[in-house]
Structure 1
Amino acid sequence: MFLNRTDAGKQLAEKLQAYKNQEVVVFSLSHGGVPIGIEVSKVLDAPLELIFTKKIKHPYNPVYAIGAISENGMSIYNDSEIAKVEDEWLENEEAKLKNEIKYRRYKFGDIKHFATGKTAIIVDDGIATGFTMLAAIDDVKKQNPSKIVVAIPVVPEQMAQKLDQEVDEVVAIDRTRTYQGSVSAYYEQLEKLSDEELLERLELMRSSDKI
């Protein structure tokens, strides 16, 4: 069990030491991946960028994700579940989520470091269904990186095997066959992070890099 996201990020950064002094861009899924990405970025001395995804939630069960959408990539679906919802509802839902992503990008700023010809390391605080990570991978592929690495504190083995087919490398601290049902089960503290808190952490990291 990890103490918190910062602790998980430090442990994950140690497993990524091979990428130090290489041309790397770290991409953190917002919001939970940002504290992880900050620690990885510091250890690898690599720029940190945010990648925005949104879960597509079931119209009658909002705690159940049936897909995910990213800023620039394709929508990722659970095909059997998407077949049960109306096309008009899905179209409207995706438009709404795209607008939310656009707002987040405006609030947090444009990407300054692209992964073209570099190694892209995509991080988050954990993976359950994997929809948001798959959407993020498709998004980052649009930048034509030379290599894509998914770095994650905990991931179910079945999902990890799927990611193995999508990216060049999956780096995990716990690649588990006995997944505990939720990412939060692996953290003593998994605080909810507001936009303001994330902006403050990012600004602190960037200002310390300038010293």
Structure 2
Amino acid sequence: MFDDRADAARQLADRLAHLQDKHPLILAVPRGAVPMGVILAQALGGDLDLVLVRKLGSPGNPEFAVGAVDEGGQVSLNPGAEAYVDEAYVAAEVARQREVLRRRRALYGARRVDPAGRTVVVVDDGVATGATLIAALDALRASRPARLIAAVAVAPPDAVARLRAHADEVVCLRVARDFGSVGQFFRDFGQVSDDEVTALLADWQAKPG
């Protein structure tokens, strides 16, 4: 069990301590991973920004992801998703989620730090299927980072295996065969609000240097 997201972030920072001299770019998946991203960027002496992706919900169960989409419209579908969603459904869901991404980018006021040539660490508090994080990794790969690292607190084994095909390195603190949800591995897994994300980013961008 992790105490909270801050505890998980500190443990990830320890595992990634070898990056301290590389000025990495830390990209957090909002909203939950943004407080973690701040801790990682501070600990590793890096830059901080967001990577915006949205899961594509399944028909009748929006919390169950059939895939994900990034800001540019690149879609990553889970294996076998074509068996229960058709092209028309996916197109409509992609359009809906891209509008959410557009609003969030405007709301958070996040910079877009160029990942080209950088060591990039994409951080999330945990993944279930990996679809959202894979969409983020694939979108970033097109920007030609020098090294692309996925860093998560917890994930099931099949998700970790999928992530390894899309990142140069995967750091997962707990590979959980008993995975039910991300929150079950945190004593405190309170929701991170849009206001908190906006405040964290504003504080970070106001830092001197």
Q: Provide TM-score, normalisation by structure 2.
A: 0.93
The one-letter code of the counterpart of 1:202 is L
Q: Greater CA deviation, 81-90 or 122-131?
A: 81-90
1:14-25 matched pairs, under 5 angstroms:
14-25=14-25
2:6 is matched with which residue? 6
For each residue in 1:128-157, what CA deviation from the matched residue of structure 2 results, as whole angstroms up to 9, or x when unmatched?
Answer: 110101011011112110110111111222
1:153-168 matched pairs, under 5 angstroms:
153-168=153-168
1:190 matched to 2:189: yes
Could you tell me whether the CA contact under 8 Å between 1:73 and 1:142 is conserved in 2?
no
For each residue in 1:101-151, what CA deviation from the matched residue of structure 2 results, as whole angstroms up to 9, or x when unmatched?
Answer: 011111222534211011110000011110101011011112110110111
The one-letter code of the counterpart of 1:197 is E
Q: Greater CA deviation, 78-87 or 130-139?
A: 78-87
Q: Greater CA deviation, 86-95 or 18-27?
A: 86-95
Aligned length: 209
1:19-34 matched pairs, under 5 angstroms:
19-34=19-34
Partners of 2:91 and 2:97 in 1: CA distance: 10
For each residue in 1:28-52, what CA deviation from the matched residue of structure 2 results, as whole angstroms up to 9, or x when unmatched?
Answer: 0011111111110000111111011
Q: Give the unaligned 5+ runs of structure 1.
A: none
The one-letter code of the counterpart of 2:64 is Y
SS in 1 for 2:46: coil
SS in 1 for 2:187: coil
Q: Give the unaligned 5+ runs of structure 2.
A: none
Could you tell me whether the CA contact under 8 Å between 2:23 and 2:44 is conserved in 1?
no
- How far apart are residue 79 of structure 1 and its match? 4.2
The one-letter code of the counterpart of 1:76 is S
Q: Greater CA deviation, 24-33 or 79-88?
A: 79-88
Could you tell me whether the CA contact under 8 Å between 1:24 and 1:115 is conserved in 2?
no
Q: Provide TM-score, normalisation by structure 1.
A: 0.92
Cα RMSD, aligned residues only: 1.7
Partners of 1:162 and 1:131 in 2: CA distance: 9
Partners of 1:81 and 1:158 in 2: CA distance: 16
Q: Greater CA deviation, 80-89 or 153-162?
A: 80-89
- How far apart are residue 24 of structure 1 and its match? 1.4
The one-letter code of the counterpart of 1:7 is D
Partners of 1:152 and 1:79 in 2: CA distance: 21
Could you tell me whether the CA contact under 8 Å between 2:24 and 2:47 is conserved in 1?
yes
- How far apart are residue 78 of structure 1 and its match? 2.3
- How far apart are residue 162 of structure 1 and its match? 2.1
